[in-house]
């Protein structure tokens, strides 16, 4: 399978694992050694400014920390979106297009001119070699191209449905699948 870095994993209705039910995951790295991603649609109530000071000024709406996944919830991963025309930015590691990771140990003031915004994730989703591929083959995940705005959606709770709807056809219908089909 080719690298899924920079693509979205969208949980299918069949995926009932509470860690990933109705999630949208941006794959940050996918190599022979496994894969790593962050859940884009699980906002917390914790303000970025409360835990990371100056980084709060760069945080987009909502300016909160997100639950990035069940692995190492004490670790933080920061995504940033560069401004148009910005090609090289200190501490920025491009994932795809204008979206990449940022080193939180750096000075946020040095990024102000180069980024549109950042989003901070506590924890991440991780897969061992071949695990993600098996989960996709078993029907746990849809794989779609990401838009630069997906990682910074102002209404993250709506992201699962939004990504499915924009696919059109049958995928758009899946966006209306009830969370509990027995209550339909």
| Contact of 36 with 27, CB cutoff 8 Å | yes
Give one DSSP letter per residue of 127-144, joined into a string.
Answer: E-TTHHHHHHHTTSEEEE
Residue 133 CA: distances (Å) to CA of 52, 77, 146, 149, 150: 35, 23, 18, 25, 22
Query: Where in the chain are the domains?
Result: 7-178
Can you give the pLDDT of all 184 residues of the chain as single tens digits?
799 999 999 999 999 999 999 999 999 999 999 999 999 999 999 999 999 999 999 999 999 999 999 999 999 999 999 999 998 898 999 999 999 999 999 999 999 999 999 999 999 999 999 999 999 999 999 999 999 999 999 999 999 999 999 999 999 999 888 776 666 5
Count of positions (residues) in the chain:
184
CA pair distance 153, 142, nearest whole angstrom? 19
SS3 call for 40: coil
Instruction: Provide the CATH topology of domain 7-178.
Output: VC0467-like (3.40.1740)
């Amino acid at each position: 399978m080719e690298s899924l870095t920079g693509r979205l994993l969208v949980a299918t209705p069949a995926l009932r694992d509470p860690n990933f039910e109705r999630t949208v995951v941006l794959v940050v790295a996918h190599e022979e050694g496994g894969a790593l991603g962050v859940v884009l649609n699980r906002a917390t109530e914790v303000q970025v400014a409360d835990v990371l000071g100056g980084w709060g000024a760069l945080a987009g709406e909502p300016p909160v920390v997100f639950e990035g996944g069940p692995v190492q919830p004490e670790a933080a991963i920061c995504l940033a979106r560069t401004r148009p025309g910005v090609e090289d930015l200190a501490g920025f590691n491009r994932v795809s297009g204008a979206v990449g990771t940022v080193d939180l140990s750096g000075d946020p003031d040095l990024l102000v001119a180069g980024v549109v915004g950042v989003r901070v994730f506590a924890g991440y989703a991780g897969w061992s070699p071949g695990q993600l591929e098996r989960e996709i083959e078993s029907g746990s995940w849809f794989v779609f191209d990401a838009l630069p705005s997906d990682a910074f959606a102002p209404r993250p709770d709506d992201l699962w449905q939004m990504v499915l709807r924009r696919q059109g056809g049958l995928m758009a219908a899946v966006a209306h699948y009830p969370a509990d089909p027995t209550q339909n």
